[in-house]
A and B are shown apart, each in its own frame.
Chain A
């Protein structure tokens, strides 16, 4: 109980928000908009899982938004060329892996700081994509949306896929050697090395996995509508990093729980809909979003301060 205090308190904050909504704006819970909203969050959730691994490994990746855009356009162009969906899916994941591995190689191989490396790759992919696509939407052939299923089926499939992935990753982080390696390297890379873990390979793996998940998430985003916007990844990095932080992942590595990330993402994602349902004016939204992030970290700070004394 005490060990998961942070994750539970985020879940409690989410529950409180939902309770207020249930009392003030019960229509918030009518099934249709709820399903659409949750489906729209699935790509972010998949990227957030990968981001959590990288942050637990004591690194950070701010290029995921640009990677997401590149993968989405690659997927969109292939689908528009009439290639079957599995080919599209694997090419997108592959492109993500290549970009993730490049970050990983620069960080783990050359020993460069991840925040700077990914700042540079963020700009590079983003501008290259702008030069290549000029902002043009990619129109997808009919039958791509929802994998050719009906809307309800497609949404259910996406939500289930994201949840299964989350559960698998959470299980793996706890029970597989590779998962424990990530915690070990994030806590103390030198100690991990002495214990026989290869910190470089672990870091490279975390970045590559994040890239692959970003590629997967891009496809999950592409199939939700009949067209792809090349700038669809803008701001994604801040959103998922904030979700990780609010969900209790420590930025100096070694600590974090994927279910906490899930709760953090839901909490942040529900603020805007909640404010609309409560008829709060739009110019307050950004300030409230910032306040929630700050409150989460302040609460954490106060707790650790008390426990230090």
Chain B
């Protein structure tokens, strides 16, 4: 147990875990109605879409890439879903399936530009960030809003099953899927290897470009899924859906200990990152003093920014301390040289 605890504390995610626990304890005491099933449902509903985007952003960042276009793609897919159901009068399952296909194609555009032309992901997705949002606006002429979805569809954004909102279950499924993919399959372990050393992975025989392409296509599909969930929650599809979600997703991933340079990170950490931001921003608004001062939203963003810097700085400091300690130890007793 002692070594388990030690090992746990040595991980950067451990800090975040304690932050999350501290948040929950603090808001339970200081907040109003924080420990209620309604509040848990609120937190889950309000962060499900951003959480899904963060989950698929994680493998991308793990390979050393980034995708700034996911928020815009969410908007484009929402609009296209609206076109399918309202203009082309498709049945809901077919429209949903086709929307996922569009998401995959859009992710494929990113993937092709990044892996075939070997362009930097930051730039490619900066371009598609404008392009996808622009297409959404062009399709709707900016003004068209699709509403009046069927009640069964809207239930997806509203109903609960065993106390948890439906999109929460969807989120858990995706989380398990990504966790298994990244940590338990040889296919997905390649992501970390690629992020750690792309050249090395290539020499080791990994199909580097194909694996990278996969992460962007996956992000496209899940962004389309998030678009459908978003549409069900808001009961409407419009071109501005998902504005700014890309930065919030990246924040959650990086906060969760994934290195922005790739090669380091866990899905569990990403989940902790998503949860700690969601609990923080929701909890603050439930503290009467903050609510009455009228500064809930601003304070939430401010503290998220501060938390991000503290988590990063804390991680680096812990690492440099560890390095110093191990150096001191190695001075005392030089490591035995490894012979094979």
Contact = CB atoms under 8 A, between A and B. Distances in A.
A and B touch in the complex (CB under 8 A): yes
Nearest to B297: A127
Q: Which of A131, A251, A288, A294 has the most chain B CB atoms closer than 10 A to its own CB?
A: A294
Contact of B123 (A127, A130, A245, A283): A245
Interface in B131-185: 131-135, 137-138, 140-142
Contact of B295 (A110, A116, A131, A287): A131
A111 interface: yes
Contacts of B316: 110-112
A298 B117 contact: yes
Given A116-B308, A301-B118, A305-B117, A127 B130 contact: no
Q: Which of B113, B124, B134, B137 has the most chain A CB atoms closer than 10 A to its own CB?
A: B134
A287 B308 contact: no
Q: How large is the interface on A (under 10, 10 to 19, 20 to 34, 35 or more residues)?
A: 35 or more
A117 interface: yes
Contact of A284 (B134, B301, B306): B134
Nearest to B117: A301
Given A117-B309, A251-B122, A294-B127, A283 B138 contact: yes
Interface residues of B, number: 45
B110 to A, nearest CB: 10
B313 A282 contact: no
Contact of B131 (A120, A122, A290): A290
A291 interface: yes
A60 B126 CA distance: 13
Nearest to A117: B309
A294 B250 CA distance: 22
A191 interface: no
Contacts of A113: 254, 259-261, 312
A286 B133 contact: yes
Nearest to B135: A287
Given A283-B138, A283-B141, A293 B126 contact: yes
B130 A287 contact: yes
Given A119-B308, A120-B306, A131-B295, A286 B127 contact: no
A304 B118 CA distance: 9
B119 A301 contact: yes
B128 interface: yes
A249 B137 CA distance: 29
Contacts of A302: 117
Interface in B308-326: 308-309, 312-313, 316-317
User: Taking chain A's interface residues, is the majority helix, strand, or loop, or is none over half, making it mixed?
Assistant: helix
Contact of B247 (A119, A250, A285, A294): A119
A238 B72 CA distance: 14
Nearest to B119: A301
B134 A285 contact: yes
A116 B259 CA distance: 10
Q: Which of B259, B301, B317 has the most chain A CB atoms closer than 10 A to its own CB?
A: B301
A114 B58 CA distance: 18
B207 interface: no
A160 to B, nearest CB: 32
Interface in B269-327: 295, 298-299, 301-302, 304-306, 308-309, 312-313, 316-317
B128 A290 contact: yes
Contacts of B309: 106, 112, 117, 120-121
B312 A121 contact: no
B130 A283 contact: no
A242 interface: yes
A304 B117 CA distance: 9
A119 B250 contact: yes
Contacts of A286: 130, 133-134, 137
B163 to A, nearest CB: 33
A245 B298 CA distance: 32
A300 B78 CA distance: 32
Contacts of B119: 297-298, 300-301
Nearest to A295: B127
A106 B313 CA distance: 8
Contacts of A116: 250, 254, 260, 308, 312
Contacts of B124: 294, 297
A127 B304 CA distance: 11
A19 interface: no
Contact of A127 (B247, B254, B301, B317): B301
Contacts of B312: 110, 112-113, 116-117
Contact of A242 (B126, B304, B317): B126
B200 interface: no
Nearest to B295: A131
9 contacts: A111-B316, A113-B312, A128-B302, A238-B126, A289-B134, A290-B133, A291-B131, A293-B126, A305-B117
Given A127-B305, A301-B119, 7 more contacts: A119-B308, A123-B301, A124-B306, A127-B298, A286-B133, A290-B127, A297-B123
User: Which 7 A-B pairs rank lowest in CB-CB distance, beginning with the nearest?
Assistant: A287-B134, A290-B130, A290-B131, A286-B134, A301-B117, A294-B127, A123-B305
Interface of A: 60, 106, 110-113, 115-117, 119-124, 126-128, 130-131, 238, 241-242, 245, 250-252, 281-291, 293-294, 297-298, 300-302, 304-305
